[in-house]
Structure 1
Amino acid sequence: MPKSVSLNFVDVVELSPPAGVEPVHWRLLTTHEVGDAATAWQIVDWYSRRRTIEQLFRLMKTHGLRLEDSQLASADVLIKLAAIATKAAVVILQLVQARDGQGGEPAGNAFSPSEIAVLDSLDASYQGRTVLQSNPHPRQSLAWAAWTIARLGGWDGYPSSKPPGPITLRHGLEYFRAIVKGCALRDVCMP
Structure 2
Amino acid sequence: MSQSTSLEQEDWASTELQHLGIKCGRTIKRFIQTVSTLTQNLGKSLAGASRDSAEAKAMYRLLDNEQITEEVVLQAHRKATLGHMKAQGESIILAVQDTTTVNYTSLQQTEGLGDIGGAIGNRGLIVHSSLAVRPNGIALGLLDQMIWTRKPEERGKRNDRSPRPIEEKESYKWLKSMDNSSAGIPEGIRLVHVGDREADVYEFFDHALASEQEFLVRVVQNRLTLEADKLFDGVKQEPSCGQIVVEIPRDTRRNLPEREATLDIRYGRAQVKAPANLPNKWLNSRSASLSIVYVRELNPPAGVEPIAWYLVTSLAVESLEEAVEKINWYMQRWKIERFHYILKSGCAIEKLQNRTAERLQKLILIYSLISVRILGMTYLARQLPEACCTLYLEEEEWKVLYCIAHRTSTAPPTPPTIQTAVLCLAKLGGFLGRKGDGDPGVKVLWRGLNELHTVLKHRRYTSF
Say yes or no: does 1:53 pair with 2:336.
Answer: yes
Say yes or no: does 1:72 pair with 2:72.
Answer: no
Change over 3 Å in CA distance of 1:22–1:160 after alignment to 2: closer
Say yes or no: does 1:7 pair with 2:226.
Answer: no
Counterpart CA distance in 2 for 1:10 and 1:86 is 24
How far off its partner does 1:55 sit? 0.6
* Structure (1 or 2) with the greater strand fraction: 2
Unaligned runs of 5+ in 1: 127-137
How far off its partner does 1:90 sit? 2.5
Counterpart CA distance in 2 for 1:47 and 1:18 is 15
Q: Does the 8 Å CA contact 1:149/1:173 hold for their aligned counterparts?
A: yes
Say yes or no: does 1:16 pair with 2:179.
Answer: no
* Structure exhibiting the larger radius of gyration computed from Cα positions: 2
SS in 2 for 1:186: coil
Counterpart CA distance in 1 for 2:354 and 2:327 is 38
* Structure (1 or 2) with the greater helix fraction: 1
Q: Does the 8 Å CA contact 1:98/1:146 hold for their aligned counterparts?
A: no
CA offset digits 1:3-44 (Å, max 9, x no partner): 4825258689883213771225343467xxx3766xx99987
Counterpart CA distance in 2 for 1:67 and 1:101 is 29
CA offset digits 1:34-57 (Å, max 9, x no partner): 3766xx999877644211111111
CA offset digits 1:132-179 (Å, max 9, x no partner): xxxxxx952111111111111122233343543222222111111111
Change over 3 Å in CA distance of 1:80–1:179 after alignment to 2: farther
The residue number in structure 2 matching 1:177 is 453
The residue number in structure 1 matching 2:441 is 165
Q: Does the 8 Å CA contact 1:105/1:142 hold for their aligned counterparts?
A: yes
How far off its partner does 1:87 sit? 3.1
SS in 2 for 1:22: strand
Change over 3 Å in CA distance of 1:45–1:186 after alignment to 2: same
Of 98, 108, 118, the match for 2:400: 118
Letter in 1 for 2:375: L
- Provide the TM-score with structure 1 as the length reference: 0.68
Alpha-carbon RMSD across the aligned residues, in angstroms, is: 3.8
Change over 3 Å in CA distance of 1:87–1:10 after alignment to 2: closer
How far off its partner does 1:185 sit? 3.1
Counterpart CA distance in 2 for 1:44 and 1:99 is 23
